[in-house]
Every structure is written in C-alpha cells, then in structure tokens.
Amino acid sequence: MTGVLGALSEAWDEVRVHKSRVVLSLVGVFLAVFAMTSVTAIGQIAAQVQQETAERTGGRPATIAVQAFDPMTGMPPDAEAWDVAVAELTGRYDLTTSATISYGEGLYRMPGGTQRVQTVRVSPSYGELHRKQPVEGRWFREGDRTSLSPALVVNEAFLEALGVPDLSSRPTVMLGGPTPVRATIVGVLREGYGSELVAYRVDRSGGSWGDAGAVDPMQAMYGGPSTLKLWVHPDQVDQVMETVRRDLGLALDGAQVDPYRMDAEGVEETLAVLRLAIRGAGVVVLILGGLGVLNIGLVTVRQRIREIGVRRSFGATSGRVFSAVMLESVCATALAGVAAVGAAVVLVRNLPVERWFSDGIPLADAPGFPVAAAIEGMIAATAVGALAGLLPAIIAVRAKVIDAIRF
Amino acid sequence: MSLLSLSGISREVVLPDGSLLPILTGVDLEIAPGEHVSIVGRSGSGKSTLLNILGLLDNPTAGTYLLDGEPTDHLRARRRSRLRGEVFGFVFQQFNLLPRRTAVENVAAPLLYARGRDFLRRRRTAAEMLDRVGLGARADHVPERLSGGEQQRVAIARALVRAPRVVLADEPTGALDVETGAQVMALLAEATSENGAALITITHDLSVAALASRRYRLDGGRLSPLVEAGSLGAATSDRGTA
Ligand SMILES: Nc1ncnc2c1ncn2[C@@H]1O[C@H](COP(=O)(O)OP(=O)(O)OP(=O)(O)O)[C@@H](O)[C@H]1O
Ligand SMILES: [Mg+2]
C-alpha cells in the first residue's frame, strides 16, 4: 500500500521538480491530443452539417415519397379524395412522421408589383423530415393551419424583394387572386438559387388551392399533384411501400400509386469514410507527439542515471525504479491530455464551426462537444505516456548502480 | 556474532580483451555492531569496490559474505534491495544529493522506500534529522545553494534517516577542505555512534582514519591491519578491544 503511494509520490516529485523539462516534452503530446480531439469534434460537427444538408434535399433516411395518378389520363386524383385517403392511411398506421408536399405558384403583391412565386404547400411535419431550420423566425406549427392570416416561410431573396431587412417588423404580404388575403411571414430560410424567390405555406387542410390567395387554376393544376412523404426505419422501406401502394390504390379507386425512396442513400457510408480519415490523421499526429516524449525521455534518463544509482543505494528495487520512470511519463502525459482536451473544448465551443460548413444555416441537431472524443483524447494521452515511458524505464532498470554512482 | 563477516572475498573484472583483472584478493573482515572501522589505501587500490560489496551494491566473485550470519550470495534482487535500504546508509565523496530537491526532501528521499509509518512520517523524521546535524535552518535550501560542508551534513542526515545499522562512508571528506573535513568527520562519527550504528570509513586521510577504533589498509586489493609508525602495539591491541 505505502509502496504504491511511494511510487506515486516519487513520480509526482519528479514531475514537480523538473517542471520546465516536463512541460517541454509535453508540448508535442498536448498539441497532438489537442489537434486530435478538436479535429474529431469539428469533424463530427462537419459530418452532421453534411448529413443535414443532404437530408434537406432528400429527406432523412429513409424517406419514401408517394404519388398517385389516374393510369388512363395521367392526371392526379381529385385533391379532396387524396387528402381523405392520406389522412386515413396515416391514421390507420399511426404514421406520425409523415408529411405532404405539393408545388404550385402563388401571386404575391410585392413593392414592384404582383409577382408569381413558386409556393410549396407542406404539412408542418415536413420541416422535421427535411431538417428545415430557419435562419430567422420559425418553421410552421400545427396551429398555423387555423390561423386567420396564412403563415408563410420564405427565403431571404423573397424578404429582400419585399424590401424588408428582417422579421422584427412582423412583415406581411398580400396574396393576390380574386379575394386577396394578408399573409404573415413567420420564418426565413436560406435556400433557392441566386435571386429565386421561394415561399412555403401550410398544406391544403389550411385552405384549399382554390381559395383566396391561391393562384390561377391552371397553374394549380400543373403544380398540383400532392406528394406524401413518409419517414420510416430503413429496414421497413419495402414493407411500407407495399402497404401504401395497396391501401392508397384501394382508397383512390384504382389510381396508380407510385411510392419510391428519395433520401440520398449512401450518405452514411460517405460520412463514415470521412470520419475514419479524420481519426487516422489524429492518430498520426499523436504518434509524432509520442515520439517527441520518448526522445526527451531517453535523453533525460541518461542524465538521471546517477540519481537512479543513488536511489538504488536507498534500497529502491528494480520494480520501483521502473515504475518511477514510467509513472512520471504517464502522470505528465495524462496532465497534458487533460489540458489538451480542455483547450479543445474551449476552441470548438468558440469557433463558428457551423457557419463555415453550412453557409450559416443553423443545425437542427447541433452536436455538443463529443464526449467520446474527449475520453479518447485522455486515453490516448495516457497510452502515449506509457509507451514513451517504457524504453527509458527499461534503461533505468538496467543501469549499473556502481557505474552510476562512480565519479 | 559479527554483524558483517567477509572471508576470502575476491573481486575480479573481465577486461574487454578477455583477461581478468583482480581488484580485491582474499579479503577477510569482521564488523561488530556499533564499531568504527577505517580503511585507507591509495587510489585504485579497490576501496570503493570493497565498500560496494559491503553495501550489497556489488557482488564478490569469490568468498563468503555473511550479513547477520546469513550468506548474501543467493539473495534475490528484491530482497537485496530491501536489505540495502534497511541495513545500510551511504555517504559519498561527491555528496550525491538529489539536485533541485530541498535539503529536507533529500533527507526524506530514502524513506520513500520505507513502509508504513516510516513512509508516512517521512518529512517530520527528515526535519528532525536535519536539526541533529545542525541544518534545521537550511531545510528548504536546495543543494545548489549549500556549501560543500553543508551538503555533506545533509548527506549524513540522509544516510542516518532510516536508522541503519551500518553507515558506509566513501571518502566523506575527500571534497572538503581540511578544517571542514574534520568537522564533518567528527559529526559523522558522533551521529552514527549516537544511533548505535557501525561506521566504515574509507579515506586517504590518516587523521580521519585515526578517529576509528580499528584501522586497515588496502593495498593492491589486499586488506591488512594498519600499522602506524610508533604505535605498532596500538594497531594490534585495537583488534582485541573492538
Ligand atoms: N568494472 C570495472 N572494470 C574495469 N576496471 C574496474 C572496474 N571496477 C573497478 N575497476 C578498477 O579497479 C580498481 C579499483 O577501483 P576502486 O574504485 O575500488 O578504487 P578506489 O580504491 O576506490 O580508488 P579511488 O581512491 O580513486 O576512489 C581501479 O583501478 C579501477 O579502475
Ligand atoms: Mg573510490
């Protein structure tokens, strides 16, 4: 018991007395663990950004899109019938993670005159499915269906065309058509190419296409076919597609139902490779840092041979000499590891990592500082200390006492 | 029974060309508890080698070394180390204080290898020991800031801190001027006898050797009683009184 304490206090004394040397030898390990931990953490945030970007376009894995046509005319089914059939389907199977989407064009009264803008009508749950994360304001809620002034989520170009800098003035816009209605802009997204204007509205259950603020009926028809999107477990894709095809086909009285998978499969694999590459780089840096510690350890153990000889005369056993040199290395690198992980946490917390990778679109699921990366950093630092301490410890044990204390 | 008993001890080393170089030849020596023995000899006569063998730092190539009546030749390495720490205290010519450790840390260092109470109370024991060698006021000084005489007094405190039964001093005054050397030697002799420890001093200096109750000379690896001019009888009668 006191033997272990003795070895520990000996190692600690050593670290304390040779502060500058220890600090110097640890710069490498500190930098390596710092780099590895930060890179892993940043990499994980980058990967998350990458994944969410992919999911914004294709939906989260696995997203199934369902459309229906009349096999004879190629026309979409009657809107009301479709809505009823979809509501029945999602109700029957308790499909909470489903959304509908349809595209059309709306007439908006902008300062420069009435303008046609592509308008996407979605159910509020579409936001979760496609990781819609407004840069300002909010995405739709279920309550928006019943609000008197239709809620709109628009892109930045739309807001600019409206001549409004941000949402602080609670901007509204008149939806044109036979009976105009004032819509409220509740959120702003960063999307669309160039100066393309994009607007989102709650789906038909918040008012049919034909109502006030809708469009010219021709456009509505072309844009019309509504798509049902389902977010299911990747293992259930085939089963769900089969069920949907059968049930919707029956409900829509012989319409052709086309379910297909639309998320970017394989994104996960790409990201796994990315993560692996990042870790590989970290390991290489760490090995270099470990070599630095080993090098300084070898130099100093030679300088300390006399001291080790003197300790032998105090009755130090080989085991004690070995563990003293070894523990010194481990104590020191573990300390460097703590410092490096701490520094990495501070760095990653304070860097605008998300801005760099995602064009300023906030993350829907922002990863915190990855605990695994921190623990790994600590383990790696300690392991490097043990490995780098091994050779000097062996040299120390093998040193001939009488040569060491001879002068 | 003798505390230490050497009979027929020889030490040879193999030189790089394969030939054997004898350093010690047929050394017989008995040390009783608490006695003070000195060994004088020219440089290269094998004094340090003999002391290293006594302190279990080196092994003889022939002969028997009994410690407390027990042969030491087939002790396991671990037990040898333990015995070395418990039975012996070393004082070196070059002091060999641990650099950058304060005086009290140096004195406490051997207790790092002790167990139980001795280990846990090491700082207090060390401070008391420093007081005894008159350096209580210097406890927090590092060796680099102590004079040679002070450093050797710290080393003496360190050699005695585990209450050894034998103190082995290899030219303890060799790096000091004559006057300081005499003071340090007097302290060493006094402190060891207070502790009841035996003291074996190696020296060039006949006045240092004269402090011992028994004196030997080492010449070309052979040990013989020291016969001083004009005190032929004293040297032999010392053997009996020891
Ligand atoms: N391992 C060794 N290999 C070769 N020669 C050795 C070895 N150890 C000791 N010697 C030689 O043996 C002789 C005695 O050495 P030792 O250190 O015991 O002498 P000493 O009496 O203490 O001398 P000094 O007064 O100079 O300290 C010396 O000539 C030394 O060079
Ligand atoms: Mg010598």
Mean pLDDT of A46-65: 76
Report for A90-99, A367-376, B171-180: range of highest mean pLDDT: B171-180
Predicted confidence (pLDDT) per residue in A302-338, tens digit? 888 888 999 999 999 999 999 988 988 888 888 888 9
The residue nearest atom 31 of ligand 1, judged by CA position, is B44
A233 and A91 within one domain: yes
Among the bound ligands, the one closest to the CA of B24? 1
Q: Do B112 and A319 touch (CB under 8 A)?
A: no
A284 and A250 within one domain: no
Name which residue leads in pLDDT, A264 or A163. A163
A229 and A96 within one domain: yes
Residue A227 binned pLDDT confidence (cut-offs 50, 70, 90): confident
Predicted confidence (pLDDT) per residue in A258-269, tens digit? 888 877 666 667
The residue nearest atom 18 of ligand 1, judged by CA position, is B46
A303 and A211 within one domain: no
Structure confidence at residue A218 (pLDDT) = 42
Q: How many domains does chain A have?
A: 2
Mean pLDDT of A188-214: 69
A403 contact residues in B (CB cutoff 8 A): none
B82 contact residues in A (CB cutoff 8 A): 315, 317
**Residue A61 neighbours by CB under 8 Å, 6+ apart:** A55, A234, A263, A265, A267, A268
Instruction: Choose among B57, B85, B116: nearest Cβ to A401.
Output: B57
B81 contact residues in A (CB cutoff 8 A): 312, 315-318
Q: Which of A209, A240, A261 is the last residue of a domain?
A: A261
The torsion angle over the Cα atoms of residues B12, B215, B65 and B21, rounded to 10 degrees, is 0
Question: What's chain A's average pLDDT?
Answer: 80
Q: Which of A261, A280, A303 is the last residue of a domain?
A: A261
Q: Do A312 and B113 touch (CB under 8 A)?
A: no
Q: Do A313 and B116 touch (CB under 8 A)?
A: no
Residue A220 binned pLDDT confidence (cut-offs 50, 70, 90): very low
Domain extent at residue A131: 63-261
B95 contact residues in A (CB cutoff 8 A): none
Interchain CB contact of A262 with B (< 8 Å): no
Q: Which of A240, A261, A282 is the last residue of a domain?
A: A261
The residue nearest atom 17 of ligand 1, judged by CA position, is B48
CATH at B49 = 3.40.50.300
A222 and A321 within one domain: no
Amino acid found at A103: Y
A128 and A49 within one domain: no
A255 and A285 within one domain: no
From the CA of A297, how many Å to the nearest CA of chain B? Answer: 18
**CB A152 within 8 Å of CB A172:** no
pTM of the model: 0.67
**In this complex, how many residue pairs, one in chain A and one in chain B, have their CB atoms less than 8 Å apart?**
73
For ligand 1, whether the C-beta of B43 sits within 6 Å is yes
Q: Do A310 and B98 touch (CB under 8 A)?
A: yes
Among the bound ligands, the one closest to the CA of B21? 1
- Collect residues with CB below 5 Å from ion ligand 2: B 48
Domain extent at residue B19: 4-241
Interchain CB contact of A407 with B (< 8 Å): yes
* Ligand 2 mean position, distance from CA A84 (Å): 105
Q: Do B85 and A314 touch (CB under 8 A)?
A: yes
Atom of ligand 1 nearest to the CA of B51: 18
Phi, psi values for residue B12, rounded to 5°: -125, 150
Structure confidence at residue A312 (pLDDT) = 92
B92 contact residues in A (CB cutoff 8 A): 310, 405
Structure confidence at residue B87 (pLDDT) = 96
Distance CA A374, CA A355 (A): 23
Residue A225 binned pLDDT confidence (cut-offs 50, 70, 90): low
Interchain CB contact of A401 with B (< 8 Å): yes
Q: How many domains does chain B have?
A: 1
For ligand 1, whether the C-beta of B41 sits within 6 Å is yes
Interchain CB contact of A3 with B (< 8 Å): yes
- pLDDT of A217 over the 50 cut: no
* Ligand 2 mean position, distance from CA A104 (Å): 102
Residue A290 binned pLDDT confidence (cut-offs 50, 70, 90): confident
A134 and A24 within one domain: no
Mean pLDDT of A351-358: 69
* Ligand 2 mean position, distance from CA B112 (Å): 27
A340 and A205 within one domain: no
From the CA of B94, how many Å to the nearest CA of chain A? Answer: 8
Q: Do B85 and A315 touch (CB under 8 A)?
A: yes
Mutate which of B11, B23, B204 for ligand 1 pocket (most atoms within 8 A of beta carbon): B23
* Ligand 2 mean position, distance from CA A282 (Å): 53
Structure confidence at residue B166 (pLDDT) = 97
For ligand 1, whether the C-beta of B133 sits within 6 Å is no
For ligand 1, whether the C-beta of B36 sits within 6 Å is no
A162 and A52 within one domain: no
Mutate which of B47, B58, B200 for ligand 1 pocket (most atoms within 8 A of beta carbon): B47
Residues of chain B with pLDDT under 50: 230-242
Residue A51 binned pLDDT confidence (cut-offs 50, 70, 90): confident
Among the bound ligands, the one closest to the CA of B41? 1
A342 and A200 within one domain: no
A30 and A102 within one domain: no
Q: Do B98 and A313 touch (CB under 8 A)?
A: no
A9 contact residues in B (CB cutoff 8 A): 112
Query: Where are the alpha helices (H) located in chain B, listed in sequence order?
Result: 47-54, 77-87, 103-108, 116-120, 122-132, 148-160, 178-195, 206-209, 232-241
